[in-house]
Structure 1
Amino acid sequence: MRWLYAAAALLLVGLVSSTGAATRSDIGGPFQLTNQNGQRVNERSFGEPVLLYFGFMTCPAICPTDLAKMARISRQLQQQQGIKVRPVFVTIDPERDTPGKLKAYVKYFASDFVGLTGSAQEIAHITDAYHVYYKKVPSGDKSDQYMMDHSTILFLLDSQGRYLKHFGRAMDEKDIEQQVVTALADGA
């Protein structure tokens, strides 16, 4: 029986390595959204690699923590490796997170941070492309009292807006920095 488990484990390792993150074509793709300045942008608008995160402004703890982590990673990559990576926040709550509100919010984390919003359909399109889960969860008696449940994945895109890799929330910042350096070198 032990050999059966070993064979299954080897098969799983083979499947995982044959569908490595850098070769995934089912994650990401074209999008058009509105930035915090009210300008329309797409996946190629940044002209540099991007760290992309999906969340919402009224998130009490998770999103601010993750956005601060993104800003630190971006700053460290610039200072220690000379690699410019733009932190980009995509709201999953376009009803409340307008460009004007996003402008003040993302500036809190870093001056080069970009906030993106759009119509409900545009947000659904980009979250589908990145396989991001989100759902409105009522939190009071009124329809405008709600929270957003969502996945917390950080995505790395190349300078052309193509998906390279993603990172789980629990991953250490230094590990992410090293993997960003490696992924950008491999993708160049």
Structure 2
Amino acid sequence: MIQAFTPTAAVVFVLAGVGLYYYFRQEKARLAEEREKERGLKSYGRPNIGGPFSLITHDGKAFTSENILGKWSMIYFGFTNCPDICPAELDKMTAVLDDMQKQHGDIFLPVFISVDPARDTPSQMSEYLKDFHPSFIGLAGGYAETKAVCKAYRVYFSTPPNADPKGDYLVDHSIFIYLMDPSGKFVDAFGQNVGQEEVEFKINEAIANWQKETGKKV
């Protein structure tokens, strides 16, 4: 027996449609904003990205911005409870590092900086990073330290300062892999839409240009 399309069902249908419309419009706007941020990072020469910071490694040691000097750093901001995007980006970084190390040797430093200071303890970071490249350095700190390093790298994150460590919440954050040269200067930013091959091409290009400009090899 076919049920009639009642007024109540009609209202529910319309409300669901309106909800989906606003969801997809918001998602489209968010993606457009991310693309605009990525263009902004590259539009006017070399942006002033990076700067002094002080955090703690996944094995409990002090780590500052001085520790990234001397190698080509690939820095990603995320959190260990991220369900999909962070693991995918760290997998991409792992694949890139495997290829790049075969070509250039041990001249890279992959860094994962947590934007979830309430939950990402050193032990949590250590366990999480076991699934990725063994040379990864995990960094975390208190809210003030996290906010400072995110500001230096122009990273947006939504974690509130009073977040409950036992809370079940997600963190909205910028999705970029930052490439820094051996002197700690910003070189490039790779968004989520930049694939492994393109990342490797751009890193090789950056290394060649840096060596030509400085006359140095790392």
Same fold, TM exceeding 0.5? yes
1-structure distance, mates of 2:193, 2:43: 24
Q: Confirm or deny that 1:78 pairs with 2:101.
A: yes
Contact 1:52–1:88 under 8 Å retained in 2: yes
Please give the residue correspondences for 1:55-70 in structure 2 after superposition, counting only pairs within 5 Å: 55-70=78-93
The equivalent of 1:168 in structure 2 is: 191
Letter in 2 for 1:154: I
Distance of aligned partners of 1:160 and 1:37 in 2 relative to their CA distance in 1, 3 Å threshold: farther
Residue deviations 1:87-122 (CA, integer Å, cap 9, x gap): 110000011000111111112202111100011111
- Per the TM alignment, residue 143 of structure 1 is displaced from its structure 2 partner at its CA by 7.5
The equivalent of 1:38 in structure 2 is: 60
Distance of aligned partners of 1:104 and 1:18 in 2 relative to their CA distance in 1, 3 Å threshold: closer
2-structure distance, mates of 1:133, 1:168: 14
3-state SS of the aligned residue for 2:159? Answer: strand
Letter in 1 for 2:180: L
TM-score normalized by the length of structure 1: 0.81
The equivalent of 1:19 in structure 2 is: 44
TM-score normalized by the length of structure 2: 0.70
The sequence identity of aligned pairs, in percent, is: 35
Q: Confirm or deny that 1:129 pairs with 2:174.
A: no
The equivalent of 2:29 in structure 1 is: none
2-structure distance, mates of 1:57, 1:76: 25
CA RMSD of aligned residues (A): 2.2
Runs of at least 4 residues off by over 6 Å? 15-18
- Per the TM alignment, residue 37 of structure 1 is displaced from its structure 2 partner at its CA by 1.0
- How many residues in Structure 1 have an aligned counterpart in Structure 2? 167
Q: Gapped runs of 5+ residues in structure 1? A: 1-14
Residue deviations 1:29-70 (CA, integer Å, cap 9, x gap): 111111111111112314311110000000000000101111
Q: Gapped runs of 5+ residues in structure 2? A: 1-39, 212-218
Distance of aligned partners of 1:134 and 1:148 in 2 relative to their CA distance in 1, 3 Å threshold: same
Letter in 1 for 2:173: H
The equivalent of 2:173 in structure 1 is: 150
- Judging by fraction of residues, say which structure has more helix: 2
1-structure distance, mates of 2:43, 2:177: 22
1-structure distance, mates of 2:51, 2:159: 24
- Judging by fraction of residues, say which structure has more strand: 1
Q: Confirm or deny that 1:93 pairs with 2:81.
A: no
